[in-house]
Chains A and B, each alone.
Chain A
Amino acid sequence: MTARVGVVTFPGSLDDGDAARAVRIAGAEPVRLWHGDPELHGVDAVVLPGGFSYGDYLRCGAIARFAPVMEKIVDAAAGGLPVLGICNGFQILCEAHLLPGALTRNQHLHFRNRDQILRIEATGTAWTNTFQPGQEVLIPVKNGEGCYVADTATLDALEAEGRVVARYVGGNPNGSQRDIAAITNPAGNVVGIMPHPEHAVEALTGPSLDGLGFFTSVLKHLVGAPA
């Protein structure tokens, strides 16, 4: 049976269509979830897409975190539901305390969009299990507030527990501490990533097909997971 992957649309979500397309190309069925609807409609995994939810007012992700659908997602994540937060979705996951740390304004204070090489460092997560440890992938990065920060103890813990999922290679586009591009929770089902794997799933429109691995990983994870 085809896996059903929910993609949440908040007011101001922008890459929700792209995330749904990536899910489809990976072979799963995308299910659109609405921020105001506190139902997950039986999806097997959830993607929080990029964008500027609620205009990024107050603080990126700070308002989205209180959306009715988020309550369900936080609960389900605790039960093992795979959740991928991309860019704004990563910010929301941090605001919702599903992931530690915060994403702050890029150090150079500019929005930046470029094709970025990442090194995948944790391949045990629900979203990266099809990659090889140390594998380098090319994924677009585009953000204004993508500088990952956390206190030293948190950073050390992330490193020690193997929860740094990906790092920037060949230049850090936003000043993130320890070149962190993606992290995961202790269980490995919740991943937040600043670059945009959903923009690297078609040869015509992306710099590579490397992004597809994130979406095929969750399918592999779901097949292996207890029903």
Chain B
Amino acid sequence: MTTHPDPVRETPEAYPAAAPTQPGPAAAPSAVPARHASAAADWADGVDTVPRAEGTPEELQPYAELGLRDDEYDRIRHLLDRRPTQSELAMYSIMWSEHCSYKSSKVHLRQFGEKAPPSDRLLAGIGENAGVVQVSDELAVTFKVESHNHPSFVEPYQGAATGVGGIVRDILAMGARPVAVMDPLRFGAADHPDTARVLPGVVAGVGGYGNCLGLPNIGGEVVFDPCYQGNPLVNALCLGVLPVNRLQKKEATGPGNVVVLMGAKTGRDGIGGVSVLASATFDEGSEQRRPSVQVGDPFIEKLLIEACLELYDAELVVGIQDLGGAGLTCALTETAASAGTGMRVWLERVPLREPSMEPHEILASESQERMLLVVAPEKLEAVLKTCEKWGVLATAIGEVTAPTEDGQPGRLLITWRDQLVVDVPPGSLVDDGPVYARPMREPADLILLQADRAETLPRPADPDALRETVLRMIASPNLADKTWVTEQYDRYVLGNTVLAQPEDSGVIRIDERTGLGVALSVDGNGRYARLDPYHGTRLALAEAYRNVAVTGALPIAVTNCLNFGSPEDPGVMWQFAEAVRGLADGCAELGIPVTGGNVSFYNQTGAAAIHPTPVVGVLGVLDNVADRVPMGFVPQPSSGDHDQLFLLGETHVELSGSEWAWVTHQHLGGVPPHVDLAREKQLAELLAAAARVGHLSSAHDLSDGGLAQSLVESCLRYGVGARIAVPERFEGNSMPFVFLFSESAGRVLVSVPRGHEKAFTALCGEHGVPWELIGVTDPAAGALEVRGQFRIGLDELREAHTGTLPSLFGGVAPFEVTPAEAGAADEAVADRSDDPHAEPVAQDVPVEAPTSDPVVAPESAAPETEVAEPVEADDERPTERATPPLRRPTTPPPAEAEVGEGRADGAQTAPPAASPDER
């Protein structure tokens, strides 16, 4: 059994105070206490010092409790040529934790660099706090997604809040102003009692922190699956913008430069957050780990942002690093190691919330809202003044020291009240950590799982059953409207939000003069990845890429958050390796680089791991955000006309891993939909070209829930109905169902204004994208009609789609709160907990046995006979089209249009939509 160093030692041993090589910075707010290191005082402090460690090599240390393995501990002793002090042991344990060292993932993550396509946009890549991508001559953007999964289960509000805070500081450290956040969230079953604890807390935490920070939340995901029951996934993405020449570095260069700790005081919160919490699986004692969760203060972070930006603009900073996981330890060692310098730190200068904190606690604390600055001595006063202006605490705690004379990197020397408690080469913590090529093995059940295909499940085969399925699917928790969540986020602040949830991507204007903007989407599908981690990851990439493309943006960069179970399980490790390979290959095929990301392992409770859940974020550029294409069908108030609806891409019988299979049959098996990234790229290029010249009134990605889901969402967005004709080859038996619910990739639903169809379909041909006219919008109808199948009023659709989350989580009624006079507040809170939409209607519908009939490819589809000449692009067009009619849309007069009529043998320039083969 190992023990903590005994504070009462039998042989007091005097040793000299560590002699700083140079005196401390003159302007340091607190001088080194002139204490004499009398032996008695030393022991009263109970501090394990370097000399003491040298003198007591046999003392047992609690390395196993700190998460270090025997061989890792031996390695530390070897590196130091002695046992580590208590502080050093704490530092190694957190820096060599899975969370900080990427020791299990490193060997795989290399592919992101090795396979990366060449990009002249990349100003900073993997290994920095966040990747930085140039988007114009003057401007660059930086974005990254990170996990805060474990803390959010233990303490949902603070876990989620500090997840936002942490990623925002990463972005800030690059020299950028944070301008938006997004949050991909995953929870256990929607109706599980613990989800009612975790989800409201997480959502309130994301909102509470981001809203108070003044960052619009522009998108994300809310996904329910029992596999996340004990392991919710809280990922947070932040986007920042910077002038190209304001890019900041983390290197602590320039011996003699002052090391300044800025921001909140250091407390005992979050100690062991990365090692104890994030690098281990949950077990029965997990609730006792609440002290390992950090506590956030967004107000301080807001001041930190403003102060840092002012420091950057005044060019007062040599280097900067945020304090996140592993706190001061990580910031000190990374800044020094990256510069090859050393550092001398007076730890007692760190402002503390609790004066009784010991050195190892100060070094390991993950207190939030702190940054580490490296400042030239002559600029220290200006730095402190700026911080004071913003009411931010800033304290000189040390200085940069030179590499050794023989060219070796400098050492990190840390004293605590004149006692040397740390003396290490900083690089040994950052770069010399263990690297594991862990054993990998395809999970034994995978073959059986893949053989159990959802295409063999009974499907709805008549119009009534199909109608019922549509209503049941759009009300199912994963497909239901997420307003209950997103209403708790501020999407307007900063005044540059052009698109936000529920749109496919968030779009942010980054230059008001030119209209330059970026589009961002994050996507993942754990079920697909469970069935095939390689292709499942490529599907996530394809979906995020497509979601960016439908806005008309050009995708240029990728970030990722890889959420997996324990790397010590060979099956999980195999899933991880496959996912990384899939993402690296996919990015190479699409020609866009991975700029950074995050790995979260140990998302499992006991032996039960989550589905492998790679979440992929794609960023795209819009030269002018006025050209962006929204997802909703738009009434054409000027013409009162109908838009034509085209389905781009090919629909196959692909139901394995689908939302339908899960909701209806609780089935997960088979192989996920085929993904063809070359096709995705063609599709993206088509959409960008079409958006530029104004061919698109709307564009909406097809993914979970298939065409039916996209149709309903596009109809409900602005209350515009549609009439759809099922293409001939999808007629009969359950084929209309396949048309509506297959989840084939590479598909987009677009609406094209009259007069543009001929030019648009010609453009499809040029880009080699299959297209098919499937219907028209119908603002007057007030319904979604699929001819020969069903007609559902928009009100009925809306009621089904929007009722689910309020009925599950209560509290916020979607549209009304009863006003009350003082004192009657409680009665007035609307309560919809008895909402009948809580439970999906039990499935009791006629079904048809699966068919294996070959499906015949149709004759090529053609646009309607009467087409006007394409409208030339002009400057006025985007503004008119680009304004979604949110305010009390007037209903245009009905126009005469018939779906699917007039399929003359028009010039078919695109390849015909292929037959819906089973895959």
Residues of A within 8 A of B (CB): 11-12, 14-15, 17-18, 21, 50-52, 54-57, 106-115, 138, 140, 142, 144, 147, 149-152, 155, 170-179, 196, 198-199, 202-208, 210
**Binary per-residue interface labels of chain B (391-432) against chain A in the complex, 1 for a CB within 8 Å, 0 otherwise:** 100000000000000000000000000000000000000000
Given known A-B contacts A115-B886, A208-B886, A172 and B819 have beta carbons under 8 A apart: yes
Given known A-B contacts A112-B812, A204-B882, A15 and B493 have beta carbons under 8 A apart: yes
Neighbouring B residues of A205 by C-beta, 8 Å:
492, 495-498, 509
A118 to B: closest C-beta gap in Å? 12
Neighbouring A residues of B204 by C-beta, 8 Å:
110-111
In the complex, B883 has a CB within 8 A of chain A: yes
Closest A residue by C-beta to B213: A14
B815 touches A171 (CB 8 A): yes
Please report whether the interface of chain A is mostly helix, strand, loop or mixed according to DSSP.
Answer: loop
Closest A residue by C-beta to B210: A111
Q: How far is B212's CA from A51's CA once the two chains are assembled, in angstroms?
A: 7
Q: How far is B302's CA from A15's CA once the two chains are assembled, in angstroms?
A: 13
Neighbouring A residues of B493 by C-beta, 8 Å:
14-15, 18, 50, 142
In the complex, B40 has a CB within 8 A of chain A: no
Neighbouring B residues of A110 by C-beta, 8 Å:
204, 487-488, 811-812
A178 touches B492 (CB 8 A): no
A18 touches B297 (CB 8 A): no
Closest A residue by C-beta to B507: A204
B817 touches A107 (CB 8 A): yes
In the complex, B821 has a CB within 8 A of chain A: yes
A-B contacts, 8 of them at CB < 8 A, read A14-B302, A106-B817, A107-B820, A110-B812, A150-B822, A199-B495, A203-B882, A208-B887
A52 touches B212 (CB 8 A): yes
A51 touches B214 (CB 8 A): yes
Stretch from B108-116, B518-526, B823-831 forming part of the interface with A: B823-831
Q: How far is B888's CA from A110's CA once the two chains are assembled, in angstroms?
A: 26
Q: How many inter-chain contacts with C-beta < 8 Å in the A-B complex? A: 145
**Binary per-residue interface labels of chain B (206-233) against chain A in the complex, 1 for a CB within 8 Å, 0 otherwise:** 0110011110000000000000000000
B822 touches A151 (CB 8 A): yes
Residues of B within 8 A of A (CB): 204, 207-208, 211-214, 297-300, 302-303, 390-391, 486-498, 509, 512, 625-626, 811-813, 815-822, 825, 828-830, 879, 882-883, 886-888
A213 to B: closest C-beta gap in Å? 14
Neighbouring B residues of A109 by C-beta, 8 Å:
811
B211 touches A111 (CB 8 A): yes
Most chain A beta carbons < 10 A, residue from B302, B391, B819, B830: B819
B211 touches A144 (CB 8 A): yes
Q: How far is B490's CA from A129's CA once the two chains are assembled, in angstroms?
A: 29
B212 touches A196 (CB 8 A): no
Q: How far is B495's CA from A205's CA once the two chains are assembled, in angstroms?
A: 6
Given known A-B contacts A52-B212, A144-B211, A107 and B887 have beta carbons under 8 A apart: no
B488 touches A113 (CB 8 A): yes
Neighbouring A residues of B299 by C-beta, 8 Å:
11-12, 52, 54-57
B492 touches A196 (CB 8 A): yes
Neighbouring A residues of B489 by C-beta, 8 Å:
111, 113
Given known A-B contacts A56-B212, A107-B820, A113 and B496 have beta carbons under 8 A apart: no
B492 touches A107 (CB 8 A): no
Most chain A beta carbons < 10 A, residue from B211, B816, B818, B886: B211
Q: How far is B214's CA from A196's CA once the two chains are assembled, in angstroms?
A: 14
B519 to A: closest C-beta gap in Å? 14
Most chain B beta carbons < 10 A, residue from A14, A54, A205, A207: A205
Q: How far is B816's CA from A73's CA once the two chains are assembled, in angstroms?
A: 36
